[in-house]
Amino acid sequence: MTLRLHGIIGRSDDAAYADRLHHVEHHGGIELLFVPPSDAGRKRFRLTTDRGTDCAVSLGRDEDLVDGALLFLAHDRAIIVRFGEQECWRLKPVSQAAALKLGWNAGNLHWRVRFEGDLLVVLLDGPLDTYRARIKPLLEAGEIVESDAV
């Protein structure tokens, strides 16, 4: 089923939406719509969010899409525009104990993740160094190995 999104509600960094977006994020309802540079100037396009929602977007003539544009906001869900491709960080725990530690940290930090075999793929919403700092002891101890950052 396609979600039709008409117009821009605001920006995800607007103070007016901070509390609502925090609530939605805390409950895992933030979806990111990655818009490639080739579509950034278009007024109508169709893309899929990072959570698999098919979105048909239409903008008014006077609206310009920006990174962080808020296209949908409900009590339990929000769709936010990000320009470019989704950056990922692939991590491999070296043992079951390390996997539990990594999983606990990822969940506690509310990281958006997916799995590729025995790798934990973290979908980055900010600088990689910020994520690395949060699990620095695991990385330094060799319990977690970085596969790559894309």
pLDDT category at 125 given cuts 50, 70, 90 is confident
Would you say residue 45 has pLDDT above 60?
yes
pLDDT category at 149 given cuts 50, 70, 90 is very low
**43 is written with which tokens?**
């007024």
Confirm if 83 and 40 have CB atoms less than 8 A apart: yes
If one compares 87 and 69, the residue with the highest pLDDT of the two is 69
pTM over 0.95: no
pLDDT category at 30 given cuts 50, 70, 90 is very high
Whole-number pLDDT of residue 130: 93
Confirm if 15 and 67 have CB atoms less than 8 A apart: no
